[in-house]
Structure 1
Amino acid sequence: MNSAIKKELSTYFKIMLNQRASRVKVSSMIEAEESENNNALWREHECIRSEFKEIFNTISFDDIKEPDFSYLDLKRKIAEKIFENCYFCEMKCHINRTTEKGFCNVENPKIASEFMHMGEEAPIIPSHTIFFTGCNFECIYCQNFDISQFPEAGIEISEMHLAEIIDKRRKEGSRNVNFVGGDPTPNLYYILKTMELCNENIPVIWNSNFYMSEDAMKLLDGFVDLFLSDFKYGPEGCGEKLSKVPNYWNIVTKNHKMAKKSGDMIIRHLVLPDHVECCSKPILKWISENLGKKTVVNIMGQYRPVYKAYESNEITRYPNHQEMEEVVNYAKSLGLINLI
């Protein structure tokens, strides 16, 4: 494997090899003050979050302890309150998810499949990939539309049962647990509860469209070890046109900056036909200028016109060889590390 990739993802690799504790494990070791007041919970969270990086870099397996109420417990308790007034993503429906459905239509979390995935990026396989149904995007070309647009399609699995499956997969050789969808964001509360119950030391991957709210990003800081983002669109409004998401560029760029500070990162970009100038190049340039020239990217050529792609004339075909070559060469000219 490329030495530059190993360097960029060095923390992830150490956790994967059990050479250091995962962020979930470290968060479960840090004592926190419990409260029923939401403002007090957030003050405590942000106080610990400001110190987390230093703690994470100095703590060892020998320091493992189980306080009565941990930083991880604190995250779960805050997530429960958000769940009752949901704004996990930037749709910010502010509805009580115990009784109502928001834009994502996700009610009780449902899982379409879980398995040892060998088709992900080389540094993360075999990846224990957990596919949730439902999504906060409505991409007209979604290649997983059968689960993303039909949140009722999966099955319910208790947090304890899923935790047991995650531990079992780790013992079988998984390098990580990879939460995806659809999108995992509507299920953040459930995911936090699940990981609290896991015994194994395992890297957490957040495989997402990155449309999380700022508070959700704060909860993911100190929880996620590797962010696997799907950076789709440039700043010209393609996000609203093709996925029905407003203010895409400002939200997703902000979240990438936050993620870069809190964990390792691989950024996926699916090349869309006729979107090289408006999306691919602005995205890659922004990554280079804001996240660093050695950021690991995966420029993907797997687009195919499925689902409702016919609704937009320019994406009714496959990206051609010239478009793919132009995007890959542009990434190389910026110094980015492309996994292909």
Structure 2
Amino acid sequence: MNREKLKDAFEYFENRMSSCDLCARNCMVNRKENKGVCGQGVNAKITNAILHFGEEPPLVGAGGAGAIFFSGCGMRCVYCQNFGFSQLNVGKAIDDESLADVFMKLQKAGAKTLDLVTPEPHLRAILHALIIASESGFNLPIVFNTSSYVNVETLAHLDGIVDIYLADIRYTDDEMGKKYSLVPNYWTVTQRSLREMYRQVGPFKEERMSGLIVRHLILPNRIAGSEKAMRFIAEELSMSVPVSLMSQYFPVYKALKMKEISRKIDDDEYIEALDMLEKYNLEGWYQPLHEKMKGVYAKSIER
């Protein structure tokens, strides 16, 4: 872990606290005195830190991913399963030294990776905690688990620090992002941010525990734009970038009152998304929609 890069990044994020533009909301709030859309001040706020076995297989290994779930988010997804801490700001404030201690405890517990879930609002604290933990021998691969709604300048200061970008494509249409996540320019921002992530680390390779993985949650009624997402990955990034296709959508929170997303996806929608992976020669991981779906397309896309 390059301490000079850590220190430079920490100084940058420390300075951004007086006019925050880390995510693409660009609130420009002085977080030393006020809070932006994400609801965060200067110190980190977390809800849990666990050995998590539900992430993509190479990130988990035998010991689990060392997942830290941070409070707050610049997006306002109407179907967010974690709305309690992403939008209602449930969690516990923690100082940088204590956050560093959490990193070390996860490493000592056998975690294969440090999985930072929604880290964008907390980068100042995270970088400082990494500096502190590195002095005690912290060396886990760092996973930046993100919605992709983050400014390129923010990502540029993580170059050489983040090992693995675990990045969403939620929608491929800005209007869908506006309607279902209440942000005006999701797809415009996400294309830029994914290109920057790919520039830094290339496609994920397990042997070096580095690279970009793209996650895509299938939504009802083609709202997520799955074909356009797969085409972007194949043509604008690389067919070597693994895709994690997620089928676990279920309506919660405000989605329950929106007819078009008030149900789970059906078999046809699931198979159509799998077809898109095959059409664009992409590989990765997928979640069977139900017991009968296990093994479907396993040869072509399941690593």
Q: TM-score, normalised by structure 2?
A: 0.86
SS in structure 2 of the partner of residue 142 of structure 1: coil
Map of 2:241 onto structure 1: 295
Alignment partners' CA distance in 2, 1:221 and 1:156: 27
**Alignment equivalent of 1:128, drawn from 66, 83, 89:** 66
Which letter maps to 2:110?
Answer: G
- Asked whether 1:119 is paired with 2:54, we answer yes
CA contact 1:332–1:338 (8 Å) conserved in 2: no
CA contact 2:44–2:96 (8 Å) conserved in 1: no
CA displacement, residues 7-48 of structure 1 (integer Å, 9 cap, x when unaligned): xxxxxxxxxxxxxxxxxx1x21xxxxxxxxxxxxxxxxxxxx
SS in structure 2 of the partner of residue 267 of structure 1: strand
Q: Per-residue deviation at 1:175?
A: 0.8
Map of 2:231 onto structure 1: 285
**Alignment equivalent of 2:31, drawn from 62, 82, 97:** 97
- Asked whether 1:188 is paired with 2:123, we answer yes
- Asked whether 1:85 is paired with 2:85, we answer no
- Asked whether 1:156 is paired with 2:93, we answer yes
Q: Per-residue deviation at 1:237?
A: 1.4
Which letter maps to 2:106?
Answer: R
**Alignment equivalent of 1:306, drawn from 237, 249, 252:** 252
Task: List structure 1 runs of 4+ shifted beyond 6 angstroms.
Answer: none
Map of 2:139 onto structure 1: 201
- Asked whether 1:274 is paired with 2:274, we answer no
| RMSD after superposition | 1.3
Q: 1:238 to 1:72 in 2, by over 3 A?
A: same
Higher helix share: 1
Alignment partners' CA distance in 2, 1:204 and 1:271: 26
Aligned length: 270
**Alignment equivalent of 2:149, drawn from 211, 217, 230:** 211
Map of 2:282 onto structure 1: 336
Q: Looking at CA atoms only, which structure, 1 or 2, has the larger radius of gyration? A: 1
Which stretch of the first structure deviates more once superposed, 120-129 or 229-238? 229-238
Q: Per-residue deviation at 1:163?
A: 1.4
Q: Per-residue deviation at 1:156?
A: 1.9
Map of 2:266 onto structure 1: 320
**Alignment equivalent of 1:227, drawn from 165, 190, 194:** 165
SS in structure 1 of the partner of residue 77 of structure 2: coil
Alignment partners' CA distance in 1, 2:258 and 2:231: 26
Q: TM-score, normalised by structure 1?
A: 0.77
Q: Per-residue deviation at 1:121?
A: 0.8
- Asked whether 1:257 is paired with 2:257, we answer no
Which stretch of the first structure deviates more once superposed, 254-263 or 162-171? 162-171
Which letter maps to 1:187?
Answer: H
Identity of aligned residues (%): 33
Alignment partners' CA distance in 2, 1:236 and 1:204: 30
CA contact 1:140–1:311 (8 Å) conserved in 2: no
- Asked whether 1:139 is paired with 2:53, we answer no
Map of 2:208 onto structure 1: none
Alignment partners' CA distance in 1, 2:29 and 2:83: 24
5+ residue gaps, structure 1, are 1-24, 29-69
CA contact 2:44–2:95 (8 Å) conserved in 1: no
5+ residue gaps, structure 2, are 202-210, 287-303
**Alignment equivalent of 1:165, drawn from 87, 97, 102:** 102
Alignment partners' CA distance in 2, 1:135 and 1:115: 20
Alignment partners' CA distance in 1, 2:228 and 2:76: 22
CA displacement, residues 34-72 of structure 1 (integer Å, 9 cap, x when unaligned): xxxxxxxxxxxxxxxxxxxxxxxxxxxxxxxxxxxx232
